[in-house]
Every structure is written in C-alpha cells, then in structure tokens.
Amino acid sequence: MIICGTGSNCFGVNEEGKEAKVNGWDYILGDEGSGYEVGIKALRALMKAYDGRGESTLLSKTILEDLNIKNVSELMGLW
C-alpha cells in the first residue's frame, strides 16, 4: 500500500508474511513524494529562478498567480 498526501508512506507484506515499511519518517527525515516535498521543491525552484541560480519556468509564473502576488519578494510576507 502506498499513501501519498500531505505526507507519504509505503507498507507491504509478501507471501511469506514479511513486512516492509518505507518512508513516512516525517518531512525532515523522509517524506519523498508527499505534497509537502512537491511544494517545497516548487518553491525552491522559484527562488533559484529569482536569484539567478535556475531558469524561470511556467511554474514560476503559476506560483505567483496562484498566491496572488506580483513578485517573489512578496512571498516572504505570506508567512
């Protein structure tokens, strides 16, 4: 079973009854594939584009529009 939402977790049992758990260690230690990780990666890409370490993409424009802000410097005032 794989669960991906705000966090992520994966658990399974094989034919012999052996259990395995992967991920689900909270956002600091490992929540790959979670909504949190996807969001953080998007915001990091936006910041890299803003300060010249990465390319600006459609994602950059979309984030600003969705947050109803004009530029990246306004982002810090949101929280």
- Residue-wise pLDDT for 31-66, tens only, equals 888 888 888 999 999 999 999 999 988 988 899 999
* Per-residue model confidence (pLDDT) at position 71: 87
CA distance 53 to 38: 19
Place of tokens 């529009």: 65
Domain assignment of residue 35, given as a range? 2-78
The CA-based diameter of the chain, rounded to the nearest angstrom, is: 57
Question: How many structural domains is the chain composed of?
Answer: 1
What is the model's pTM?
0.69
Q: What is the CATH number of the domain that holds 49?
A: 3.30.420.40
Q: What percent of the chain has pLDDT over 90?
A: 37
